[in-house]
Amino acid sequence: MELNRIGDIAAFVAAVKTGSFTAAAASLGLTRSAIGKSVVRLEARFGVRLLNRTTRQLSLTDEGRIMYERCRQIIEDLEDVDATMAMRRSKPTGTLRLTAPLSFGQRHILPVLDIFLKQWPELRADISFTDRFVDLVDEGFDIAIRIGEPKDDSAILTRTIGTQRFLTCASPDYLARRGTPQTPQALHEHDIITLRSADRPRAWHFDTPDGHYVFDTQGRLSIDSSEAMRAAALAGFGIVQLPTYITGDALRSGALIPVLEEFVPAPDPIRIIYPSKRHLSPRIRTFIDLLVESWKDGQPWEQR
C-alpha cells in the first residue's frame, strides 16, 4: 500500500470520527484543505462518493460506510503496532503475580523466577504455588501455569510451554526384592503408593495393545502429597506413578528405575495462561519470553 494512501485513509477516518474537516485537521495537525484533498483522492481512486458534504455536517454514503469500517480497522491495527512496539521498549515494572501447581512451581518455575528477578531488580513477585484451581481474572493474577487440556475461555490466552509425562517407577532395592512388573495388570501383585485426592486415590492410566487400561486401586500406601510419594518410593515402600517433572532427577541418578515404559500414554500439555488483553504489560511479556527461552533446548525434567 502506498504511504500517501495511508495518510488519505487516516484523514478520511478522522473526518468521519470528528464530523468535520476542520476538526479532523486539528486532530491530525493538518490543514482543512489537506483533509479535503485526501478524501477527494480516495473517492477518485475507488470511483465512488464516500461523503455527503454540506456547510454544516458530513454524512456517509452507503459506499462510504463500508469504506469507513474497513479503514477504521486499518488505522486501529496501525495504532496497535505502535502501542505494541512502544510496550516492548518499556522496562518491566510493578509486581508479577503468578500461580502454578505446587510441585511444578517449586521445582521448575522458581529457578526461572530467580533469573527474572535478578535481571530486573526493581520488580517484585507475588507467587501462589497451589494445586487448587485458581481463577486468573477474579483473583487478579497476571500468569498461571496449567497442566492438562485447556478449557474454552475467551477471557484468557494460552501458550503451550511443555508437556507432563507420567512414568511408573520404583527404587532399585524394591525391584530387587519384589521383581519388575511386565504388564500394567501385574501391578496388582505389588505394593503401590497412590496419591489421595478428594478422599480417593488417583487412577493410573496405560496404553496397551488391547486399548486403554485404567489401574485403580487404594494402594498399600496412600498419600496426599506428590513430594511425599516420591520420598516413599525412594525409601523402597513400593511402586509409584508420578510426573517426570517430580521424578526426573531421581530417574537420571538411578535412584528410581522406570517400569512399564512401553505403556506410557500420550503426555498432557503444560500451558502458560494470561488474561486476554490488547497489550501485555512488559513484566508479563518478559517473563513469558524468559520461560520459553529457558526451555528452548528441552524441558529440564526430561533431560537424561
Identify the CATH number of the domain in which residue 38 sits.
1.10.10.10
Q: In the chain, what are the helix, strand and coil shares in percent, each to the nearest 5?
A: 45, 25, 30
Mean pLDDT of 18-30: 88
Residue-wise pLDDT for 170-186, tens only, equals 999 999 999 999 999 99
Whether 223 and 203 map to the same domain: the answer is yes
Domain span including residue 259: 166-263
Determine the pLDDT at residue 1: 44
Domain count of the fold of the chain:
3
The one-letter amino acid at 170: A
| pTM of the complete model | 0.67
Q: Which long-range contacts (CB under 8 A, 24 or more apart) does 184-190 make?
A: 184/208, 184/213, 184/215, 184/260, 184/263, 185/213, 185/215, 187/215, 187/217, 187/239, 188/217, 190/238, 190/239
Q: Which residues of 105-138 are buried (b: 16+ CB within 10 A; e: fewer)?
A: bebbbeebbeebeeebeebebebebebeebebee
Output 167 or 197, whichever has higher pLDDT: 167
Whether 23 and 150 map to the same domain: the answer is no
The one-letter amino acid at 161: I
- Beta strand 192-197 with 239-243: parallel, antiparallel or unpaired? parallel
CATH number of the CATH domain containing 214: 3.40.190.10
Whether 142 and 186 map to the same domain: the answer is no
